[in-house]
Amino acid sequence: MFSLLTRMVFASWRPVSRYARMNKDYNNTNNTDELEEDPSAAAAVPDSLLWCRDLEKHSCGDFSFAVVQANEIIEDHSQVETGKDAIFVGVYDGHGGPDASRFISDHLFHNLIKLARANGRISEDTLRSAFSTTEDEFLGLVRRTCGIKPLMAAIGSCCLVSVIWRGMLYVANLGDSRAVIGCLSRSNKIVAEQLTRDHNASIEEVRQELRSLHPDDSHIVVMKHGVWRIKGIIQVSRSIGDAYLKRTEFSLDPSFPRFHLSEPIHRPVLTAEPSLCTRVLQPSDKFLIFASDGLWEHLTNQQAMEIVSSSPRAGIAKRLIRTALNEAARKREMKYDDLKKVDKGIRRFFHDDITAVVIFIDHESLVNTKTSVLEQSVKGFADSSGPSNFNIDVNQDMNGSII
């Protein structure tokens, strides 16, 4: 017989009966890139590389979701899974190709739910195990395919995941995507609090960590073209994938000079061990922003907070990305309308793929959710009917079309 906690986990995520993908057709008919209050909206050039869901419901509030493509094939993949009593957010910023970020989108959530059901709860250990399982599975895929596609060993992804369940917020992170929470201060102002560490060699603390882990490697971090890089190759110090920097069996030969290491590694250079944050949500916690580093390259935490707190909820993720793109254009002495005319691939010279998810927390709903979970779990969840799970998954095939 299932334990009480196990039944609660089952109830939070079932039934799974609604599934949707972000796609061009949806957004061409249901979304315009310009914001309603923009007087030039009618004459503006639409951005065909930006997709969004302006506002959707989750168990304790609303969420807004937007993505803009810069690469020839989009390397950001992401998902929002909502259950009757829980919400899952995943932002996966790939590098070297889309394979790792796509794989994480297809597997990590399911691994988390399997482990949560087996353990009867969601916890930091459950999240850590879900990351480890997904890493092992992806390295297994690399092992099976590297004979015909050797560069699979050089594909990886940052991974930012969050779960809200029973009034608790869990965040796990690899890489430099970022989670920021907007909190109401005593002076009644919204302030930004960063929940994640950026695992990036540009940060002195990360470089010190790498040097302490590799005291015998004087080239563990190298300044190259004005940027600190691990082994002179990569900026992020934690990821899923990047197999050639973790296991000698995946080393690439000199025919791939960009990824060839002059000396074999004696221990993993990168790790898939996430940094974790657990927080009891308080009435002062108003919303969360989850975004790939393409957003934070152009906006500070506080700037993002102020945009969300001072704007309507509908379309807020799109507004964040639009603001970042305006700033990217300004840095190149361009207008945003000019940037929108730039094709994917070439667009990468101006900005990265960007994913932004904003989760609003309505505490009255949150309290009701915690109560309903407890009451229903005591009854054994005999009735599996109720609100359906809703998934948004930004995905892309190898030919570059959104599916």
The whole-number pLDDT of residue 229 equals: 96
List, in sequence order, every beta strand (DSSP E) within 247-284. 275-280
Using pLDDT thresholds of 50, 70 and 90, give the confidence band for residue 394: very low
Domain containing residue 36 = 4-197+279-394
**Does residue 159 fall inside a structural domain?**
yes
Q: What is the pLDDT of residues 164-214, one digit of tens each?
A: 988 999 999 999 999 999 999 888 889 999 999 999 999 999 999 999 999
* Residue burial 177-199, b: 16+ Cβ < 10 Å; e: rest: bbbbbbbeeeeeebbbeebbbbb
- Selection from 88, 68, 67 nearest residue 79 by Cα: 88
Higher pLDDT pick, 119 / 314? 314
Identify whether the C-beta of residue 83 lies closer than 8 Å to the C-beta of residue 59.
yes
Examine the pLDDT at 338 and tell me if it is beyond 70. Answer: yes
Examine the pLDDT at 4 and tell me if it is beyond 80. Answer: no
Report the C-alpha gap between 325 and 59 in whole angstroms.
31
CATH at 134: 3.60.40.10
The whole-number pLDDT of residue 13 equals: 54
Examine the pLDDT at 105 and tell me if it is beyond 90. Answer: yes
Using pLDDT thresholds of 50, 70 and 90, give the confidence band for residue 367: low
SS3 331: helix
The whole-number pLDDT of residue 40 equals: 42
**Does residue 301 fall inside a structural domain?**
yes
pLDDT averaged over the chain?
84
**Does residue 210 fall inside a structural domain?**
no
The whole-number pLDDT of residue 390 equals: 39
Identify whether the C-beta of residue 59 lies closer than 8 Å to the C-beta of residue 86.
yes
The mean per-residue pLDDT over the stretch 247-264 comes to: 87
Report the C-alpha gap between 317 and 62 in whole angstroms.
12
**Does residue 185 fall inside a structural domain?**
yes
Q: Quote the number of domains for the chain.
A: 1
List, in sequence order, every beta strand (DSSP E) within 294-401. 354-360, 390-394
**Does residue 366 fall inside a structural domain?**
yes
The whole-number pLDDT of residue 85 equals: 84
The contacts found for 310-317 with CB under 8 angstroms, 24 or more apart, are 313/55, 313/62, 313/64, 313/360, 314/54, 314/55, 314/64, 315/35, 315/36, 315/52, 315/54, 315/55, 315/64, 316/64, 316/358, 317/52, 317/53, 317/64, 317/65, 317/66, 317/356, 317/357, 317/358
The whole-number pLDDT of residue 397 equals: 32
**Does residue 386 fall inside a structural domain?**
yes
Q: Which two tokens stand for residue 207?
A: 């470089």
**Does residue 104 fall inside a structural domain?**
yes
Identify whether the C-beta of residue 149 lies closer than 8 Å to the C-beta of residue 115.
no
DSSP states of 192-226: EEE-S---BTTSHHHHHHHHHH-TT-TTSEEEETT
Taking the alpha carbons of 315, 316, 317, 322 in that order, is the dihedral positive or negative?
positive
Using pLDDT thresholds of 50, 70 and 90, give the confidence band for residue 54: very high
pTM of the model: 0.85
Using pLDDT thresholds of 50, 70 and 90, give the confidence band for residue 111: very high
**Does residue 212 fall inside a structural domain?**
no
